[in-house]
């Protein structure tokens, strides 16, 4: 029964991607452009799924990372055409004149979740007390230090009164070693990150979202760079990503499409 549901989900994604490819094929520009996209890791699985359909029209060069370092690179003058980042970062960059405000579009939102290694027992995290107990019982807890979830957890753990107890068990990861990857590799017992950054790793399993009272929901937006070399093609990509046909792919990857 389960595998049938999975197959249906896969075929829904395939149909969505095919529909998007057809929509684009009807619109092919005479000159294919190469678009450089700077994107938060939270959108990686969505972009990798959707890219082939868009690339019937233009080529994408995708640059991944944690939001804070990516924003810093843009502020220092990195060359790019389109940015996909948490909404706060996009709005900051619009204010600084690094992104074109008139092109800004809401894209999706994502909740933070807890991951364990595939096949490991899943702790109870249904309530705030259960979540605290799960962390206190774990041998190690990992998050990406400069990721949105990591920054949030640095404030949350002291608020929950468990920061001192966990001090020696916290593993602060670099953006190149995502929390779900570290869990899949056995480097940490529990990993915390955006749900969309847990689902792509076959060796990690989603335990569930953070309890709603302490959940972190991150919204993501997209905008064209002020110095974009491929401004028109980048705007075509925004239309593609925000089209209703793309929504099933966002949902399948653990994100809530905007609108």
Q: Note the pLDDT tens digit of each residue in 63-109.
A: 999 899 999 999 999 999 999 999 999 999 999 999 999 999 999 99
The shares of helix, strand and coil residues in the chain, as percent rounded to the nearest 5, are 45, 25, 30
Instruction: Give, as one character, the DSSP assignment of residue 63.
Output: E
| Neighbouring residues of 219: CB distance < 8 A, sequence distance ≥ 6 | 86, 87, 106, 108, 109, 258
Domains and CATH numbers, the chain: 2-109+219-257 (3.40.190.10), 111-214 (3.40.190.10)
Share of the chain above pLDDT 90, in %: 83
Evaluate if residue 27 carries a pLDDT over 70: no
User: What does pLDDT average to over the chain?
Assistant: 92
pLDDT at 2: 53
Mean pLDDT of 197-215: 96
Terminal Cα-to-Cα distance of the chain (whole angstroms): 32
Kindly list the distances between the CA atom of residue 12 and the CA atoms of 5, 8, 25, 56, in Å, as whole numbers in the listed order.
11, 6, 20, 20
- For the ranges 8-22, 168-182, 183-197, 241-255, the lowest mean pLDDT is seen at 8-22
DSSP state of 99: B
The pLDDT assigned to 16 comes to 81
Q: What is the reported pLDDT for 12?
A: 86
């Amino acid at each position: 029964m389960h595998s049938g549901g999975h197959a249906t989900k896969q075929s829904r994604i395939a149909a969505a991607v095919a529909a998007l490819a057809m929509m684009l094929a009807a619109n092919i520009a005479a000159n294919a452009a190469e678009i450089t996209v700077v994107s938060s890791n939270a959108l990686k699985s969505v972009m990798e799924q959707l890219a082939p359909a868009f690339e019937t029209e233009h080529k994408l060069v995708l640059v991944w990372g944690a939001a804070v370092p990516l924003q810093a690179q843009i502020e220092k003058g990195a060359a790019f055409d389109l940015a996909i980042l948490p909404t706060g970062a996009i709005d900051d960059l619009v204010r600084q004149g690094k992104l074109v405000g008139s092109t800004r579009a809401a894209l999706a939102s994502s909740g933070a979740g807890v991951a364990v290694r595939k096949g490991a027992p899943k702790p109870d995290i249904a309530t705030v007390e259960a979540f605290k107990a799960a962390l206190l019982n774990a041998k190690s807890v990992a998050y990406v230090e400069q990721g949105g979830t990591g920054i949030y957890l640095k404030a949350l753990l002291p608020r929950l009164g468990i920061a001192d107890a966990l001090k020696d068990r916290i593993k602060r990861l670099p953006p190149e070693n995502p929390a779900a990857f570290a869990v899949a590799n056995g480097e940490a017992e529990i990993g915390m990150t955006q749900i969309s950054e847990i689902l792509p790793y076959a060796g990690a399993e989603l335990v569930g979202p953070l309890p709603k009272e302490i959940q972190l929901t991150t919204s993501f937006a997209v905008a064209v760079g002020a110095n974009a070399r491929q401004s028109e093609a980048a705007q075509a990509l925004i239309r593609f990503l925000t089209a209703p046909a793309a929504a099933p792919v966002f949902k399948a990857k653990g994100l809530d499409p905007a609108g």
